[in-house]
Amino acid sequence: MILNVSTLAPSELESRLRQAGIFLQTGAFTTHLQTSIPSVADGIRLLYADYPLAEESGFADFHVSLARPAGIRRWIKPQVQFLFDGYSPFKPLPLDQAFPMLEWGLNWCVSSHANRYLIIHAAVVEKGGYAAILPAPPGSGKSTLCAALVNRGWRLLSDELALIRVSNGQICPLPRPVSLKNQSIDIIQRYEPTAIFSRKVSDTMKGTVAHMKAPADSIARATETAQAAWFIFPKYQTGAEASLTALPQSRAFMRVADNAFNYSQLGTQGFETLAGLIGDSLCYDFIYSVLDDAIETFDALKPPIS
């Protein structure tokens, strides 16, 4: 029988994390996670309650742990380290940022090692079997828009990483908590009061951050791939009416390539995968300010004619 994180009592979850660790299944990836830091255990219990636990004796794609450094930093301005296969790829952060560091570290694990996919820095949402890929730089309102969409009937495939199979161009889901920062946290909490959030963590490299729990349906359908239909480049603009503007596929190609983590590394395979994806999709710039108007615009999208 497959167990979910929620089947473990809080004390048992903390004990497992502290000792042998848990094998957490997120989409196509299994992560072996160990930590004795209470805030990380709290975040896992709250935001990953619906995620399956893989067999403890089985294979894991990533072996990670979060630990407090030895020495004076255990007591003076305590810090946390993210460890991958026993080494630390990042500088330590303040201990209060342990759970956000886990989320950032898991994104790094996938974007740095999962080269069986073309990996694009983008949110991805799906409805009716068709996916909208939303590449955008920080500050564009991408995550705010993604959080609103998945609270209004769209399926969350990912908030950060679009995983495109190079073999067939299908999008593989990676539904993990949605990362929100600064004013976006309060905006989504007001927009969907029933959404579940981690506590706010301030003074990070991204400002104040919090994570929203992924919808249970998105987690349950984490093995169900989707077909790309739209590339939409969102931009929040105060006071603007929701507006889609058609974008030439050639220009969209260059912008998406700039947002891909491993496009150059994949060489010809990366070019062919992205060219096929763009060629089969409609491409738009999208400006918005009111979330309800944005939802209405997305709900009216029509897939490309085959």
Domain boundaries, the chain: 3-113, 118-299
Q: Quick one: pLDDT at residue 306? A: 63
Give the pLDDT score at 136.
Answer: 83
Which parts of the chain sit beneath pLDDT 50? none
Rounded Cα distance, 100 and 123, in Å: 18
For residue 200, what pLDDT is reported? Answer: 97
Residue 2 pLDDT: 63
For 102-127, how does the pLDDT look when each residue is reduced to its tens digit (9 = 90+)?
Answer: 999 999 999 999 999 999 999 999 99
CA 266 to chain centre: 22
pLDDT at residue 302 in the model: 95
Q: Looking at residue 140, what is its pLDDT?
A: 87
pLDDT at 209: 97
Going from the C-alpha of 135 to that of each of 54, 84, 161, the distances in angstroms are: 31, 27, 9
For residue 74, what pLDDT is reported?
65
pLDDT at residue number 101: 97
Q: Under CATH, what is the fold of the domain 118-299? A: Rossmann fold (3.40.50)
